[in-house]
Structure 1
Amino acid sequence: MDWKNLPGSGGNVEDRRGRGGGGGIAVGGVGGLIIALIAMFFGIDPGAILGGGTGTPQTQSQPAQPQADDEAYQFVNSAYRSTNQVWGSIFQQAGRTYTQPRLVLYTRGTESACGAANSAVGPFYCPADSSIYLDTSFFAQMDRQLGGGGDFAYSYVIAHEVGHHVQNELGIADQVSRKQRTARTEAEANSYSVRLELQADCFAGVWGSKVQSVANLTQEDLREAVSTAEAIGDDNLQQQSGGRVVPDSFTHGSAQQRVNWFMKGFRSGDANTCDSFSVPYRQL
């Protein structure tokens, strides 16, 4: 993937790396372990997954200046800016205005409007402040724990979180929250979360489709992203945690579902194909 060729526009990046900071999310028991594993790989916000997510925005000190000569910064900024261009164009064609999310880079720990975050949480989107939080060391963690990685796989992580912002912009996230509050069972509430996550995967695929030519994506790049989508399926994460696979507890979708919905967006390049809410649940 030639990420330096990615087109980009706008951007609001706050670089908090090197400040230290801290804060974490306490979880306990086997259930908490599974939730933490799931939260670590592409959540909307960890507070919401753990029953919170209604925190008050935290006051931050003056943002550090981005390090333009830092390759990690350049890579993340390039991928992020390209999502702004892609979604800005898609929204414009639909007669809407796209409000770009903020991207916050941090080291070890920081505060968000959804509560404290640390590097163990992984990248997440906080709807309360329309921000994506990312500790860039997560990419090395992907390599170690998922047995792979690569620039396009890393970009998929960013594009997935941007997908959650798109859902927030369209009011989809709010609709899902309302449905979850009135769900009769935990399994039903989880099913809405799965649909939300699969749609974000599909939106990430749409972004990939839009940039594949300019970024000179190869079949190997695509395999990297697909391998990542498989590795973070709820069934695989539950098996890795030493527990049994419990489909009713899924909140992000199975490995096959995540691959299918990412590829649906990638093959079509059309966000209209990403309506995971109109498909019978067992056919997702």
Structure 2
Amino acid sequence: MNLRKHILDTLAGVAVLLTATACNGVFDGIYDEVPATPTVTEGQLLVDATSWKDWYYVDFDSLRTYIEQKDTAGLLKAQTRFAHFPIPTTLSGGAGDGQTGIYTYWFDVFGKGISVNEKRSFTPADAQEEPPSWSIAFHRNNVRTNGGAVLETNYKSMSELPKSSIDFLGATFQPDEWSENEVWTDQSQMLQSLIGCQGIKINKVLSTWLRLDIPPMPPAFTMNSHVFIIRMKNGNYAAVQLENYMNAEGAKCWLTINYKYPY
């Protein structure tokens, strides 16, 4: 019985391990090598969102400044390198707010899939650190905004968009929402199909541009190439579209994003 349980636990661990390597190379240096010369054009971002441990931040206003100053070198750097901060997993002091922290969930990898899951424990942690100025942030297939809201359109290219965001003034934009089981960060209990997840607000509309499903094995990715409109908290608008979720070497969760700002 113990041998059988060990085998089942090992298989479960392999399944979750495959989930991890699908977006973040546990075998670093084989799957997730950084391209020597990233290829992006003006109006694009290339975001390495493979890390389980970090959020990566984009500031559209900074990108706009580089364009206005015609600083080509600065713009390329801003399009491919981003401020990043680790996900806190411990509480530095006090009792916490009872909500911010790491939620451990069991996922039904071998049954009905990861959409079936159960909360097992909670560990309080510090709030997520952020840069002074940012517009959107990325963690694997998760996206959040800085107090903004998002609308999914039916347009499939940036060229199809209306000339002005005024066409969307009457539309319903969805703000970020609390999540306890979507931002996977702790792999330490993978052998039991348990994943530690950050409790944090994400934009569940914008995050639909890249969906991960288990089963099948290996995990299946589905990309939604619709254009999304982001309404910033300052009233400005941006249009974004996921063009690709793999880099030139085939590593997943390398996001090539078309953007238009201000829109």
TM-score (norm 2): 0.27
TM-score (norm 1): 0.26
Larger Rg computed on CA atoms: 2
Say which structure, 1 or 2, has more relative contact order (CA 8 Å, 6+ apart). Answer: 2
- Judging by fraction of residues, say which structure has more strand: 2
